[in-house]
Amino acid sequence: MTPTLSTFVDDLKQVIGDADRVLTNPATVARLSRDFYWYSPVLKQLLSDKVGDVVVQPTSVDEICAVLRLCHDQGIAVTARGAGTGNYGQAIPLQGGVVLDLALMDAVECIHPDGIAICQPGAKLSLIENEGRRHGWELRCYPSTVAKASVGGFLGGGSGGIGSVAHGGLRDFNTVRALEVVTMEPEPRVIKHEGDAIHEILHAWGTNGIISRIWLCLTPAVEWAQCVVAFPSFNEAFDFSEQIATSNHWTKRLVTTFESLITASFSPIRNIITPDKAHIFFMIAAAQLEELQLAAKAVGGEITFAAAYEGLRTSPLLSDYTWNHTTLWAMKTDNTLTYLQCGFSPTTARSQFSQLKARYGDDFLFHIEFMKNSDGLVVPGSIPVVRFTTAERLNEMIDFCREIGVTVANPHVNNVEGGGRYRQDHIQLQAKRKYDPKGLLNPGKMASYLVAEDAN
Ligand SMILES: Cc1cc2nc3c(=O)[nH]c(=O)nc-3n(C[C@H](O)[C@H](O)[C@H](O)COP(=O)(O)OP(=O)(O)OC[C@H]3O[C@@H](n4cnc5c(N)ncnc54)[C@H](O)[C@@H]3O)c2cc1C
């Protein structure tokens, strides 16, 4: 440790008042500087040597303020960390400095009778789901990393997941009712954002404020069931899944459609997978389970699994194989595989599928996640599993997708703009200029940010 760093660490211990929550052991700092960036072979090369200098674990908003005040004063970078399950190197510090690990601020303060959960940023989504269900509510949407991911990290870097077929993404339909943010200023402020102002902070990767408290809107809990249906071809599976996903008749939380080569990698649930068939994984209202099975059989589907859902500990938990967990399973069996994040057209998806198949064959495997868009239309989103050979070929795949009208949020870039959730009204950038005038929060991740000349 350099003398300057050692003095800074002493200062940190003083403002935190508990040396045990200022971590400098190199292996610990390295571990808490990582996320799941290695999903991308491109990011793996770019980011594997990036680490913070020290990890601080605040337990209160006052402590966050104290750390930011010190870092602002000394010009030290601060990168917020929830559970570190992000995929794009979002939580990896590019310029060293402090990793602000919010894992100890993990309380669900209350579940309000009108279904609003008030939480600290490090609260696990699984805790909110479980607490919510005890009060008759549940999360509107959650990532497949629900067991580990924090609510602050979901707001900072996530987008949607299980439940999005009914409730849209995290940014939609006022799901995030309000949040408080600590600013990186000489005297940090705690600012409450409500209504449209939340979009200043959502999916900004912690570049423009530290989320310190969240008001999250839940939805009335449903008694769910899980069901797997196999079809001879992907097209037949897609037709049936689309019918269920887009019809208001069905109460569903998950509709995921896979090509057969993908489900072959789901080794722990091999007993419910029929080789060489395409599969759909459903979470459906228990009251509609029987009706769903009859509907599937009527169009040639084979039910390979159907059972009650008893919360996140249900085994098998189908959501463990969906959203970006699918990529993980595929990569486990073949490490030349990676992924893209695509949006297909609700009207011409089938033609887009055949154009991609004709060009890339088994190097582009379909994994469809239906989700409601901000206009209320249920559309086929996708996290296709693709074979990586070179960065050029990956970029060529992305270009071809865009050429045929398939949108791509590129998971192989390490900035907010490239990842596909950057707002075209630049509201996140304007917030960075307001709340982080020295550009110290997760520096390097908001590409369009230029430090104002007079700020430093
Ligand atoms: C197997 C797998 C499956 C996944 N599935 C999904 C999915 O279904 N849907 C989805 O949306 N994502 C998914 N992800 C990505 C990731 O799990 C989610 O985005 C998750 O919500 C991140 O939470 P986290 O606590 O791990 O955040 P982290 O990775 O710790 O942080 C994410 C970003 O938010 C910032 N941040 C963290 N806390 C704060 C804070 N308090 N204030 C400001 N900024 C903060 C960090 O700096 C970072 O930029 C998946 C990832 C993996 C590895």
The pLDDT, as a whole number, for residue 451 is 57
Mean of all residue pLDDT scores within the chain: 96
Q: Measured at the alpha carbon of residue 270, what is the angle toward residues 266 and 275, in degrees to the nearest 5?
A: 95
Instruction: Name the CATH architecture for the domain at 3-101.
Output: 2-Layer Sandwich (3.30)
When pLDDT is averaged across residues 419-431 and rounded to a whole number, the result is 83
Q: Is the CB of 152 under 6 A from ligand 1?
A: yes
108-220 folds as: 3.30.465
Residue pair 403/351 in contact by the 8 Å Cβ criterion:
no
Q: Which two three-digit tokens encode residue 143?
A: 């990532």
pLDDT band of 453, cuts 50, 70, 90: very low
The pLDDT, as a whole number, for residue 204 is 96
- Which of 37-46, 271-280, 418-427 is predicted least confidently? 418-427
Query: Ligand 1 centre and the CA of 299: distance in Å?
Result: 38
Q: Is the CB of 102 under 6 A from ligand 1?
A: yes
- The domain ranges of the chain are 3-101, 108-220, 224-408
Q: Is the CB of 261 under 6 A from ligand 1?
A: no
pLDDT band of 419, cuts 50, 70, 90: confident
**CA 87/CA 391 separation, integer angstroms:** 17
When pLDDT is averaged across residues 74-84 and rounded to a whole number, the result is 98
The conformation of residue 316, written as its DSSP 8-state character, comes to S
Q: Is the CB of 77 under 6 A from ligand 1?
A: no
- Is the preceding omega at residue 316 within 30 degrees of 0, hence cis? yes
- Based on C-alpha coordinates, what's the Rg of the chain? 22
When pLDDT is averaged across residues 6-23 and rounded to a whole number, the result is 95
When pLDDT is averaged across residues 356-376 and rounded to a whole number, the result is 97
Q: Which two three-digit tokens encode residue 127?
A: 């805790």
Q: Is the CB of 211 under 6 A from ligand 1?
A: yes
Please say if the pLDDT value at position 454 is more than 60.
no
Q: Is the CB of 435 under 6 A from ligand 1?
A: no
Query: Ligand 1 centre and the CA of 222: distance in Å?
Result: 26
When pLDDT is averaged across residues 82-91 and rounded to a whole number, the result is 96
Q: Can you name the residues that pair with 337 across neighbouring β-strands?
A: 387
Q: Which two three-digit tokens encode residue 306?
A: 């159907």
Please say if the pLDDT value at position 192 is more than 70.
yes
Query: Ligand 1 centre and the CA of 91: distance in Å?
Result: 8
Give pLDDT tens digits for 249-265: 999 999 999 999 999 99
Percent of the chain with pLDDT over 90: 94
Please say if the pLDDT value at position 2 is more than 80.
no
Please say if the pLDDT value at position 286 is more than 60.
yes
Q: Which two three-digit tokens encode residue 343?
A: 């949006």
Q: Which two three-digit tokens encode residue 423?
A: 């707002």
Domain 224-408 listed as CATH 3.40.50.1580:
no
Best residue among 32, 78, 145 to mutate for probing ligand 1's pocket (most ligand atoms within 8 Å of CB) is 145
Amino acid identity at 389 = T
Count the neighbouring beta carbons within 10 Å of the beta carbon of residue 341.
21
CB environment 79-105: b (16+ within 10 A), e (fewer): bbbbbbbbbbbbbbbbebbbbbbbbeb
Residue whose CA is at the smallest distance from ligand 1 atom 4? 324
